[in-house]
C-alpha cells in the first residue's frame, strides 16, 4: 500500500493510473475506520482496479461549537486496517495542503442541503461539497463510494457531481450495524455504557415506522408521532429532528405515495447520532 500526504503527488499518481487505463475507485473518510468503512472499500474493489481511501478530518464541515478538535483520530490504527483491507493508496493530506493560505472558494448545493442536517448544522454541506469537489479533482476517480447512513450527504454529493459534470459514478454503500442494531459510526466511541444502551432507541424508532408502513399506514404524521414517542422513552435521548421526506427531493411529505426517506438525528447525552431508512413499496 502506498501512503501519500501531498495533494500534488496524489494527483500525479492518479494521472499515471488513468494513462495506464486503470479504473480508480475512491472511498473518502474522516478516519477512525470501522467495518462500515471497510465494507465501502470492498464495494469499491468490485468496480475498480485501484482503490484510494482518503483520511481527512475536514475542518470546513464542522461548526464552531462542534467536535472538530475532539473528533477521534488514530492514523496507525487506520493504516493497519487499510493494509488488511488491501487498499492500494492511502491519501492522508493536511489541512494546510487542502486549504492553502488565502483559500476563499467554496461549493454550495442549495436544494437538497436545506433541511435535515443542513438546517441543524448551518454551513455543514458547504464544507462537505467543497472538500469532496477538491478530492475528486485530486484523486480523479471513476467511481466513488458513499455510505447510505449519511443519507442526505449521499444525495447532496450525487447532485453536486451531476451539476458540476465530474463524471464520477457515485455508488451507495448499505448501512452496516452492530449486532444489536446500532448503526456503525466513528462517534459511537463517545458513548458511555448506559448511553450505548439507550442509543438503540434510534433503530427501534425506525423499526416502528417500518412496521406501521408495513400495515398500510401512509400518513406521515402518524409515523412521526410514533417515532417521537419511542425516542422520548429513552431518558438520555434529545431529539434534534425526526423527518419524513421524499426520497428524491428531500421535501417533507404528508402522505407517503412515493419512496420516502425517514431520517433522524438524536443526541444521546452529548453525542449526536444519525440514522435513516427508506420506505418503499415492495417490488
With 0-12 / 13-18 / 19 or more C-beta atoms within 10 angstroms meaning exposed / middle / buried, residue 101 is exposed
Length of the chain, please?
283
Is 37 noted as a catalytic residue in this protein?
yes
- Within 179-236, strands assigned E span none
Decide: helix, strand or coil at residue 60.
helix
- What distance in Å separates the CA atoms of residue 214 and residue 165, rounded to the nearest whole number? 39
In contact, 269 and 260? CB cutoff 8 Å: no
Q: How far does CA 82 lie from the centroid of its chain?
A: 19
Decide: helix, strand or coil at residue 37.
helix
Q: Which residue in this structure is represented by grid cell 422520548?
A: 232
> In which order are the strands placed within the sheet that holds 143-147?
2-4, 89-91, 50-55, 24-29, 143-147, 169-173
- What distance in Å separates the CA atoms of residue 128 and residue 108, rounded to the nearest whole number? 9
**∠ at Cα 190 (171, 66), nearest 5°?**
75
CA quadruple 99, 150, 190, 90: dihedral sign: negative
Could you say which of 37, 47, 124, 224 is catalytic? 37
**∠ at Cα 256 (252, 258), nearest 5°?**
95
- What distance in Å separates the CA atoms of residue 135 and residue 152, rounded to the nearest whole number? 19
In contact, 56 and 73? CB cutoff 8 Å: no
Active-site residue list: 37
Amino acid at each position: 500500500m502506498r501512503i501519500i500526504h501531498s495533494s500534488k503527488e496524489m494527483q500525479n499518481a492518479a494521472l499515471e493510473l488513468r494513462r495506464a487505463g486503470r479504473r480508480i475507485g475512491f472511498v473518502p473518510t474522516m478516519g477512525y475506520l470501522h467495518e462500515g468503512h471497510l465494507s465501502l472499500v470492498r464495494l469499491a474493489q468490485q468496480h475498480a482496479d485501484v482503490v484510494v481511501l482518503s483520511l481527512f478530518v475536514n475542518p470546513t464541515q464542522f461548526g464552531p461549537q462542534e467536535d472538530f478538535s475532539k473528533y477521534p483520530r488514530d492514523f496507525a490504527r487506520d493504516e493497519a486496517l487499510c493494509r488488511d483491507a488491501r487498499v492500494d493508496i492511502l491519501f492522508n493530506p493536511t489541512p494546510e495542503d487542502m486549504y492553502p493560505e488565502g483559500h476563499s472558494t467554496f461549493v454550495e448545493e442549495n436544494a437538497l442541503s436545506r433541511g435535515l442536517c443542513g438546517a441543524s448544522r448551518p454551513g455543514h454541506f458547504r464544507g462537505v461539497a467543497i472538500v469532496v469537489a477538491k478530492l475528486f479533482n485530486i484523486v480523479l476517480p471513476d467511481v466513488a463510494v458513499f455510505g447510505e447512513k449519511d443519507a442526505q450527504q449521499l444525495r447532496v454529493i450525487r447532485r453536486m457531481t451531476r451539476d458540476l459534470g465530474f463524471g464520477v459514478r457515485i455508488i451507495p454503500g448499505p448501512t452496516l450495524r452492530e449486532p444489536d442494531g446500532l448503526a456503525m459510526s466513528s462517534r459511537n466511541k463517545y458513548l458511555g455504557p448506559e448511553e450505548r444502551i439507550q442509543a438503540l432507541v434510534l433503530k427501534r424508532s425506525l423499526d416502528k415506522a417500518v412496521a406501521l408502513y408495513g400495515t398500510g399506514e401512509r400518513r406521515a404524521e402518524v409515523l412521526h408521532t410514533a417515532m417521537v414517542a419511542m425516542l422520548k422513552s429513552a431518558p438520555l435521548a434529545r431529539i434534534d429532528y425526526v423527518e419524513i421526506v421524499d426520497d428524491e427531493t428531500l421535501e417533507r411529505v404528508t402522505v407517503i405515495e412515493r419512496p420516502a426517506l425517514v431520517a433522524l438525528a438524536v443526541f444521546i447525552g452529548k453525542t449526536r447520532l444519525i440514522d435513516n431508512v427508506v420506505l418503499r413499496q415492495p417490488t
